[in-house]
Structures are given as C-alpha cells and as structure tokens.
Amino acid sequence: MHAVTLSLLLAGLLLIAALAAYAWHLWRRVWARQQAQEEARQERQERLGGDLNILASSLLDEQLPLIEGAIRIKVLLDNYDRDLSNDSRCQVFHLLFEATTDVPTHAAWKALDKEQRRRFEKRFNELELQHKAAARTAARWLLDDGLKRTQPNA
C-alpha cells in the first residue's frame, strides 16, 4: 500500500508540474499578445499623429481646402485622442464637420446636378469666410502645442 500511495503522490506531482508548465506557456502567450497589441497601438498613434501634422500643415499652407481639411482633422483627432479632440481650441473642426454632414460625398457628389453643387459650394464659401481664422488658429495650436503634449515620451 505504501508503494501505491507513493506512486499516486508522484503521479499527482507530475500532473501538477505539467499543468503548471502549460499554464506558464499560456501566460507567456498572453503577455506576448498584450505586448504586440500595445506596440500596434503605439504605431497607430504615431501614424495618426503624423497624419494630423501633415493635415494641419497643409491647411495652414492652403494646400488643402479648409472644409475638407477640417473634416479630416476632426475625424483623425477623434481616433487619435478624444480629450484633445474635445479641447475647446479644436471645436471649430467639430463645428465645420457638423455643418457639412448632409453634403454628399464621392459618387453621390458626382451625381448632383450643377445647381445642387453650387448651393453646397456657396455654403462652403460662407463657412470658410466665417471660420477660416479660427480653423487656422486651431491648426497652428495643434502643431505648436496640442499634438506635442499628447505624444508618448514627449
């Protein structure tokens, strides 16, 4: 009976050791996956930050139409940093985005007749006259301060 008990104890210890090794293996996979996800998140943030820099610079250099630039900046800001997007200095981007939500895009824009396009373009011009200075100020702030304070290790 002593040999049977010793054998069962040894088998139990081997089973516990095997399960512990398997659990360790699974935890290592979890940690590796978490690290890969964090690296992907950081790369995404860097890419979005770079895209925001390009858009803000292009808006300031007038290489990008104001309305289009404001819409793109707003969407990227929402994905980059919700707090930064909601900063009062960025509200002009939200305002222009909301003011143009009913404007058709892509194929739907091409399908509009000339009169409908002119009405939208007239509204774009009015919005640009009304908000150009604020949009440029917001873009300058993003480049000078806003994006720098949200960058990792900055």
Report pTM. 0.81
**153 band by pLDDT with thresholds 50, 70 and 90:** very low
Give the model confidence (pLDDT) of 70-107 as tens digits: 999 999 999 999 999 999 999 999 999 999 999 998 89
The region of weakest confidence among 21-30, 45-54, 85-94, 102-111 is: 102-111
Question: Per-residue DSSP letters for the chain?
Answer: -HHHHHHHHHHHHHHHHHHHHHHHHHHHHHHHHHHHHHHHHHHHHHHHHHHHHHHHHHHHTTSS-HHHHHHHHHHHHHHH-HHHHTSGGGHHHHHHHHHTTTS--HHHHHHS-HHHHHHHHHHHHHHHHHHHHHHHHHHHHIIIIIHHHHSTT-
What's the pLDDT at 151? 64
The pLDDT of 10-24, averaged and rounded, is 97
**149 band by pLDDT with thresholds 50, 70 and 90:** confident
